[in-house]
A and B are shown apart, each in its own frame.
Chain A
Amino acid sequence: MNKKIIAILMVALVAFASGVFAQEKVTLNVLNYADATQAGYSDEVALWAKFQADNPDITIVKEELNNEPFHQKVATYVAAGQMPDVFYSWPGGRSTAVQKKHLAKDLSKLLPKDLLALWPAAALNPKAQDSGYLSELPRAITYTSVMYTNVKLLKDNGLAIPKTYAELKRMVPKLKAKGIIPVAMANKDTWVMQSCLFSTISGRIAGDAFIDQVLAGKAKFTDKPFVAALTFVDTLYKDGVISRDSIQTPYGDVPGIFASGKAAFLIDGDWRQAAFLTDKTSGTALISPAAQKSDFALVEFPAIPGEKNPGLISAVLGTGMSISAAIPAGSAKAKAAVKLLTWWYGKEWTTMGLETGAYIPARKDIKSDKVEPFTTMMSAYYASVPKTGYVLDGVLDAAVCTPLNDGLQQIGLGTKTPAAVASDMQAAFDTWKAAQK
């Protein structure tokens, strides 16, 4: 009898002990935005595998999508109210529905304080996210306007980096006479002019405060400051600084045009630097690291006549990861999600982002001597920018931004005046505003 009792007690003890000491296995469904053709993708895959190997108690079920299929899937998850446990998101824009419905947790309360302290204040600003709190921690701050400059080509033609628009304009006849494009831009896609140049022009001439006033109904796009910004785009085309042919140039063509010395400048976003870095598959680069260092510079667009905000460059908080609000607080799943994000924003991952050129981390302590000159120059460029301003498609609804994007192209084609574009935008804004009530 005693033996039986002891045996039962031992079995019970073993069962209890295994319940207490066995690690609880957690499955995390992760929706990641992944473009396999972007710099660093293979390294990213290897790091995901490493996290999985290092954390056998967490099973990562990772879904990778990009472009519209990603947003369609998110829309389905939102409509169903079933967000993945961890998901890639934007501070606003395409993630507005996720943000405004508060489908993500506030990361400022979950991530370790010492980790958050490594981010600049601008990246942690809760007001910069549509949710009003830190629903995603931006891994980078994206500067959407960079003037990639072929310094050697300028020198060979007796020219120097322009400080003012007048200096840039004076270069045009000389460069054109030699068959060189003064400023290359891929304006076939309508978003490029708006995101990579006009937002900066608008920020310098009209200012973010003016856009805020328009959004509050206290000013109009048809007012003088905004029309003046649009008129400057017209001037760029009329002066030949930007060729009307750029409206026929696809987005994929400009790195080749610029790298082959057919253009003196390229205006594009900071992400474009990755196109020039060494291709790991072939070991070749569009611009070799040595040439990047000796022959090129990354500068801001020169001073514009009548600008109120000198040196302003359009920039937007980058993307990051969010944790589903549906995960119970303090649960094993919540802890696993925090562990995953702490690692995703950790030193190893962010250094990989920097070294592969995938992005320049917003995290302040990330340095590496393995980066190519363009990446180093981009960090220096960020530091040289005195003030950042809105990227308009980040603050305007798509219904208002579409007439702007189309209108900028129409100004380039000479089929619409700046005043008419401003008028179209105001009409679109009024309609959108009325629909919000």
Chain B
Amino acid sequence: MMPDLLRALLFRLGRLVRRNRIDREIDDELEFHLEALIEENRARGMTEDESRREAARSLGGATRTKEEYRDGMTFPLIESIGKDAWYGLRGLRRAPAFTVTAIAVLGLGIGLNVGLVSIVRALCYRPLPLPGAERIAGITRGHRVLPYNLFEALRDQGKEHIDVAAYDPYATVQVGSTAEATGGKARAALVSENFFRVLNARASMGSVFQPGGAAPAAAAVLSQRMAARYFGAAANPVGGTLRLNQQLFTVMGVMPAEFRGPDVMLPDVWIRLSDEGLLRPGYDIRKDAENRRLILVGRLAPAVTRRQVQEELSAIAARVPERRAEEEGVFPIELRPAVLFPLNSEMLPFLFLLMAPTGMVLLIACANLANLLLARASRRGKEMATRLALGAGRGRLVRQLMTESVLLALLGGLAGTLVAAQLLRSASQFLGAQASGMGLVLPELQLDAGVWAFMLGISLVAAVACGITPALNATRLDLAAAVRQEGGGTRGSRTRNALMVAQVAVCSVLLCAAGLMIRSFQQSLATDPGFTTDRVLAVHYDLASAGYTPERAAAFQQRVGMRVRSSRAVRSLALASSPPLSDRPMISMLVSGDARGDRRASSPYNRVSPEFFRLFGIAIREGRVFTEQEIAAGAPVAIVSQATARRLWPGEPAVGKRFRIQDDTPQPWREVVGVAEDTRSVWLSRVDENYVYLPFEPSKPESNALLVQLDGDTPAARTELTDSFRAIDPELPVSIESMSEVLNRWRLLPLAGSALAMCLGVMALCLAGVGMYGVMTYLVSQRRREFGIRVALGASKPVILRMVFRQGFRIVAVGLGLGMLGAATLARFLMGSFYGLSPYDPPAFLFVLCFVGAAAMASMYGPAKRAAEVDPAAYLREE
């Protein structure tokens, strides 16, 4: 059986491909037959005409014979599908408005979704481009960043199951000049010795760290870029030396350009954790073993399952003490697939915020397509009925309508691909530029074939689902009624109304989100951070990376201070470990208690000089600011914010109270000398619940900021500032940022969010408007006869208009109501993303109400006007 079928298939396929030749051959053969018959007839003595006629008769009808012959030769079904498609295309071309709308609608829906999902998949799901990446796992325990003691325990006790490596990608080092390049900053990753073994990565030149290897101390592995920059692109730097933070390191190897490591952070240089003391004199991670700063990654041993490893590691981790007592044993060890950007619970809401609206747009697109098809099918009721009456098969008509839907879906998919490709190109450029500014390396973003196929599948299913109901409805008509262009039935219109309500609801949700975002942006613009930002600049510098000793650091900052203060452009000057709204370092405190004993607390903090408060206009409500003597002596004093004072010592004066910072080294009791006004120094969106100011320590060579208030923020003033630093240390990198730039950074997210939500919302509204227009047109055409009679009986235009609007508004009102309810529910969950707004923010909701109402009105006006202008005489003539 099978070979027979196969042979038949091949036989026909061969002919399908060579169709034109087949046609010619059939013609030739039949013509030969005809000629032979004619000749024979002529030989029998017939006239020319007679012999032709007789020949044609005995051969059978020429066209029919040919058709039958060809049917046997090829696939009649495929050809008729081809014909349907062709017919469908022609039909679509005849209704360009419908076609363009449907394709645009689907294209946007599919494109946005494919693009976004492709990006998420590329960043968060695609395995790392490393050999054997499927055996590599990220190891977390509640947090992604874990302490050294846990790493040590897992590495030593779990080595039969998994080879655990650790790294800290966030270090920066000061690089000395070489023959090729002047010095600058570089990103360093501090890694365990087995780091490269776990990743199975080799150097393109030289070698990488090996556990237990005989490599000398102070060895570094460079990235290709770093090697090219400091040693020249052609040179082999292996064995050469490079000064990092005043210490000479020997270059041990160079990683190939395509090596990315396990993180989006691409370091310039890899240094062993055991060499960290050379970069930060006196530091030893083994003595800082409880500090969370390492990211763990492991390679599973052959023949063990993830589950086994997870259980084994959990058992080991349970024996490692946690510094924070309240967290002990709460978080299990988890193994995660090694991807570039692991999704964690903090990112999920953000992702949801991003994906939900785009998903909604696709939803609207599908609903809209369904509506468009429904409306179109009902308009074509007459055509269908006529064709049925003329004897067309129902199956054939349904097939044709379906072909049309599928064609639309395919064209929409094509448009979607273009949209997605463009989106990915723009996103690649934008994110790439953003990322490289932050020292991250993103993989190339490509259209994800799987996602694309999925979305196209969805649109096909949508098209078929949307297409089948109208197709069946259209062909199940009461013929007589439909030829008169009536009928339609309530079932179809109920589906249509439900779809319309859903569309209005979804776009109301989107617009509410947009409204809330815009409002929160507005709020963020209006938000007073609680300190002046006017003409205040921050100069950032990092003395620790530049290899400063405490004595040199103190001297340097004193000299810079004097120099800057002497400038005429400078009004006042302060020093701090960071400007407000930048970093968020925390301290743990032990608060000296009353009868209840000492209490623990934690708070964000900043180390500031006395002028800080005056410069920023932060009032001191009780007590006083630090004195110069306290700064110089490093006296154990502190200033707390009002909120902190209320929380820690409710109902009591805070001045004179004591607390102790909990650190690795024993700390003295600190006395609170002042209470400062509350500000928004940690989050712009809310007043700080806690904030502690400690005296600035000039002798701590950490990264610090010099804050100045200028007479005017001019380029000249900025140059003068940089020059003041250059004059004392020409090699120290400094960066200047104004406080308004800092504030703008905070406003960027709500701005971007509101722009995105607004775009999607307006798009959704346009889609819904088009849908509304279609539905109203249909409804009006259904009631044409009624309107005609009413007008004939004396109804005025406004009466008819009101009737149409009432019908439309019922749909809009239900949709709007549902949408706003949904939006309010959602907003309650996502409140964290908005700036101090109530989830029921009236202006935002009012805005949506008006916006959607106006849009609905606009899309209803055309059809309503047409209804009101029904000329009864014309209607009667149509009958």
Asked if chains A and B come from one complex, the reply is no
List the interface of chain B (C-beta within 8 A of A): none
List the interface of chain A (C-beta within 8 A of B): none
